Amino acid sequence: MAIEFTLNGRPASTALDPQTPLLWVLRDELGLNGTKFGCGKGLCGVCTVHLDGAAVRACALPVALVAGKSVLTIEGLGAEGLHPLQQAWIAENTPQCGYCQPGQIMAAAALLATNPQPNDAEIDAAMSGNLCRCGTYPRIRRAIQR
C-alpha cells in the first residue's frame, strides 16, 4: 500500500516499508539529495525538513507519519529562485564546509515563519538542535537577522 503525501507542493508517494525513515525516501527513492544524513538519531539537525510547516528530523521520522501531510525540503524552499533566507546566507558568507547548511536553513525558515523578528536568544533557542562542526553560529545568526 502506497503512502501518499505532498512534497514541495506536488503529490508524492512511496511503497517502501512504512517504518523507512523519510530521509531515505527523499534521498534514495525520490532523488532529493539536499537533505543530508548526519547522526541518524535526530540529534544533529542536518536532516531538517518541514512537516506541515514544522521543523522535523527526516532521519528519525518513519515515512508512515507523513501520510496525507505536506513535506518541504531545501529544494522546495528555493523552488522559484533563491528564498530570502538563502540570499541572506550568501550575503553573510554563512557556510564554511556547507554540509549542515540545508538543515540550518530549514530550521531557520521554520523559526522565521512563526517569528519574523527573533532576538538573539530566540534564534539561539530555535537553532540549538542544529549542529555546525565548523562553528559558523555567529554567521548563521546574522543571516537569520538579515
Q: What is the mean pLDDT of each run of 10 residues along the chain (146 residues)?
A: 96 97 97 96 96 98 98 93 95 93 97 96 95 94 96
Q: Sort strands 48-51 and 54-57 into parallel, antiparallel or unpaired.
A: antiparallel
CB 103 within 8 A of CB 47: yes
Helices (H), the chain: 22-24, 74-77, 84-91, 101-114, 120-127, 137-145
CA distances to 32, 85, 93, 95, 138 from 90, rounded to whole Å, are 22, 9, 5, 8, 14
The residue whose grid cell reads 514541495 is: 8
Q: pLDDT tens digits, residue range 62-89?
A: 999 999 999 999 999 988 899 999 999 9
In this prediction, residue 42 carries a pLDDT of 94
pLDDT of residue 55: 97
